[in-house]
Structure 1
Amino acid sequence: MATNVTRTLTDLGDGLFAYIQGDGSWGWSNSGLVVSEGESLLVDTLFTGRLTRDMLDAYRRAAPEAETIDILVNTHANGDHTFGNALAGDARIIGSTACAEEMEERPAEVFAEMVRNWRNHGEIGAFLHETMGVRFDFSDVVHRPPTELFNGHKTIEVGGRTVELVELGPAHTRGDIVVHIPDAKTVFTGDILFSGGHPIIWAGPIDNWIKACDLILDWDIETVVPGHGPVGTKAELRHMRDYLIHTRNEATIRYEAGMSWEDAAWDIAFDQFDSWLDRERVVANVASIYRDLSHGRIAPPRPEIMRQMLRYRRGATCPHDEPCSCGAHGGGK
C-alpha cells in the first residue's frame, strides 16, 4: 500500500479537526473530528484499517477526547469513507437509510475480494485494480454499517454542542449527507465536494447535486472540509457548482444534437477545470446525464462506463476501439 502520500491533521480551531490525505485522488479521502466537553464525533473512516488506525492515532495525539469515539457519522456508502468503521469501537454509527442500503450491496469484504481477484471481474475488476488496487491493501477491511438511520435531517448533541446532519442525496451516491456545525461555521461535506478534482456521479441526478451546493452556499459558514482535497471555503463549493452546471449544459447540447454519450464525454472541453484531477470521471458524469435526459432509455451499464473511463484515463483519443474513423479524435481532451 502506498503510505508515502502526505496525510495531514489540520486543527480548524474550536474543537474541530480535519484529516486530509494527499491530493484527494481515487481512494484518498478525508475525515473530520468534533470534540466538546469530553465527547467526540468522527466524520467518516478511511479506505483501509491501517489508514484508519493512523488517522485515529493522529486525532488522539491532538485531542484527548478522541481516545474514545462516541459517535461516528458516515457521509455516504463509498468504502473510502466507511471501510474503517470497525475501528470506531462501540461508537454509535449514524448514516442515512440509503447509505446503509448501499453498503449492504457491496460489503467491504466483497470489495476486497474483487480487488484481489480483479482478473475474474471483467471491466469492473480492471478499473478497480488500476485506480485503487495497486495503491491500497484491503486485507484488513471489515463490513460495519451504520446502526442509527435517518432520512432528511437529524440534530445531535456532542458535549452540549449542536451538530446538524442533512441528507442531500441522491447526488454523488444515493445517500449523501453533510455534517454542519453551526456554532463553528463549518461543514464537512463528504463527497458533495471534491476540491481540485473532478467529481463522479454514481447516482445523480446532477440537478440534485447542484441544489445541494446551493443549499450549503446559503448557510452561514466559513470553513468547508471536502470529502477529497484540501480544506477551503465557499469558493471551492462555488467552483464545484460551476463545474456541474457546465457539464450538465454541455452534455445536454450534445444529447439534443443526437451525439452518443460516449462521443459527448470525449467532446466536452473543460478548459477552466484543466488542473483538476481524475478527468476520466467525466465519462461517468455524462453517462448519468444522458440517462436522466432520456428518462432511462439510454442507461449505460456500469462495466461499460468503467471500460470507457479506463480508455479516457489511458489517453485514448476517442471512445471507439481501433481502428477508428469517427473523426472525433482530439476533441475535448
Structure 2
Amino acid sequence: MNKQFASTGDLTEKSSAFVEVGPDLYAFTADGDPNTGVIVGDDCCMVVDAQATPRMAKDVIEHVRAVTDKPIKYVVLTHYHAVRVLGASAYAAQSIVASDATYQLIVERGEQDKASEIGRFPRLFRGKEEIPQGLTWPTISFKEEMTLFLGRREVRLMQLGRGHTAGDIVAWVPDANVMFTGDLVEYQSACYCGDAHLRDWPQTLDRIVDFNPQAIVPGRGDALRTRADVRGAVAMTRDFVGTLYTSAELAVARDLTLRETFEETRRAMDPKFEGFAIYEHCLPFNVSRAFDEASGVDTPVVWTAERDREVWGALQGLV
C-alpha cells in the first residue's frame, strides 16, 4: 500500500509540555516533535535548538517568560537541520552558537536542507513566511569545545563525535549533571539517519554515558529525569542505530539492491520500532543512508526536495 509522502499527512496539533529537568533547567517537548532546551543562569538564558520557524519559537518564549524575565543571550544549535534552526531570529539573542562542522554543513547543504525539510513536514514549518530571507548562520562557532558562562553558571558545549550529523554538539551543565543531547539521543522516537555517520554514532553515545547524567533532554520525546531513564533512552537509541546499520551491512554483503535492503531492514526494525514517532517518515531516508555507508560512502549524499521524493517513491511509494 502506498503511503503519503514523509509527514505531509501529519496535520494534528501536538500537546506541548514545559518541564523542569534540573535547577532552572527546562525542556519544551511536544509528543515526538523537536525539543528545545532552556538554561537559566544568574543574568541571562540560553536556548538549545530554536524550533523551525519564528512562530514556533514564540511558543517556547512564552514558556520561558513564565519562569524568568532574564534576557535570552545565546541560542545554541546542536546541528544544522532546518527544523532546529530557522526559528532562531525570534529570540533576538546576542549570539547563535554551533560547531565549526555545523557551520560548514550549512555552507555545503543548508539551502537544500531547508527546501527538503519544509517539503517533508509542513506542520512543523507553520509561519514559514516569517523566516528571515536566507539561512540561519551561527555568529560563533568552535572546533571541539567551548565554555560559556551565564553569570556563574557554566555551560560546556562539546562535540563528542559524529552521529546524527557530522557536526552534533551537546550542552552539559555540570552544576546540575544535566545534558542537552540534541538528536544524538531520542526517546520513543525514530532517529533520523539520512545525514548520519552510523558506525561512529554508538561511540558518541558511549561518551555521553561517560558523563553519567542525572537527566537529559533528548532531541525528541520526553525529557529523561532519572539516571535509569537516561540509560534506557541511550540504549534505545543505540539499538535503533545498530539494528539499522547491521541490517544494511548484511544486505550489502549479499549484493542486495537498495529496494531489497529496505525490505530486509524493515523486517528487522518493524517489530521493535514501528510504533515510534516519525518511524515511517524516516525509514526510506535512513535505509538509503545506511546502504550508502555500508557501501563505503562516508559523506552523506545531499538531500534535496527532488531526491526526497525519488527515494520515497522507490521505497515507500506515493499516493
TM-score, normalised relative to structure 2: 0.83
Alpha-carbon separation, structure 1, partners of 2:181 and 2:299: 30
Which segments of 5 or more consecutive residues in structure 1 lack a partner in the other structure? 115-123, 317-333
1:208-227 residue pairs with structure 2 within 5 A?
208-227=200-219
User: What residue in structure 1 maps to residue 262 of structure 2?
Assistant: 265
CA, structure 1 residues 106+205, in 2 after alignment: closer, same or farther (shift >3 Å)? closer
Once the two structures are overlaid, the 10-residue window that deviates more, 80-89 or 200-209, is 200-209
Alpha-carbon separation, structure 2, partners of 1:78 and 1:304: 17
Deviation at 1:218, TM superposition (A): 1.7
Alpha-carbon separation, structure 2, partners of 1:32 and 1:199: 18
2:29 aligns to what SS in structure 1? strand
State the 4+ residue runs in structure 1 displaced beyond 4 angstroms. 105-108, 297-301, 303-306, 310-316
Alpha-carbon separation, structure 1, partners of 2:299 and 2:259: 11
1:27-46 residue pairs with structure 2 within 5 A?
28-46=33-51
CA, structure 1 residues 89+295, in 2 after alignment: closer, same or farther (shift >3 Å)? same
Query: Which letter maps to 2:168?
Result: D
- Confirm or deny: 8 A CA contact 2:34 2:51 kept in the other structure: yes
- What is the aligned residue count? 297
TM-score, normalised relative to structure 1: 0.80
User: What residue in structure 2 maps to residue 18 of structure 1?
Assistant: 27
Alpha-carbon separation, structure 2, partners of 1:88 and 1:7: 19
User: What residue in structure 2 maps to residue 255 of structure 1?
Assistant: 252
1:192 aligns to what SS in structure 2? coil
1:72 aligns to what SS in structure 2? strand
1:183 aligns to what SS in structure 2? coil
Deviation at 1:139, TM superposition (A): 0.6
User: What residue in structure 2 maps to residue 160 of structure 1?
Assistant: 152
Q: Deviations over 1:81-112 (max 9, x none)?
A: 1111112224221101121222334557x877
Deviation at 1:215, TM superposition (A): 1.0
Alpha-carbon separation, structure 1, partners of 2:61 and 2:299: 44
1:295 aligns to what SS in structure 2? coil
Deviation at 1:2, TM superposition (A): 5.9
User: What residue in structure 1 maps to residue 227 of structure 2?
Assistant: none
Deviation at 1:29, TM superposition (A): 1.0
Greater RCO (Cα-Cα under 8 Å, separation 6 or more): 2
* Match 2:95 to one of 89, 92, 97: 92
Once the two structures are overlaid, the 10-residue window that deviates more, 167-176 or 303-312, is 303-312
Once the two structures are overlaid, the 10-residue window that deviates more, 86-95 or 70-79, is 86-95
CA, structure 1 residues 188+138, in 2 after alignment: closer, same or farther (shift >3 Å)? same
User: What residue in structure 2 maps to residue 77 of structure 1?
Assistant: 80
Query: Which letter maps to 2:122?
Result: M
Deviation at 1:45, TM superposition (A): 0.7
1:139 aligns to what SS in structure 2? helix
1:291-302 residue pairs with structure 2 within 5 A?
291-296=292-297, 302=303
Alpha-carbon separation, structure 1, partners of 2:246 and 2:110: 35
Which segments of 5 or more consecutive residues in structure 2 lack a partner in the other structure? 1-9, 225-229
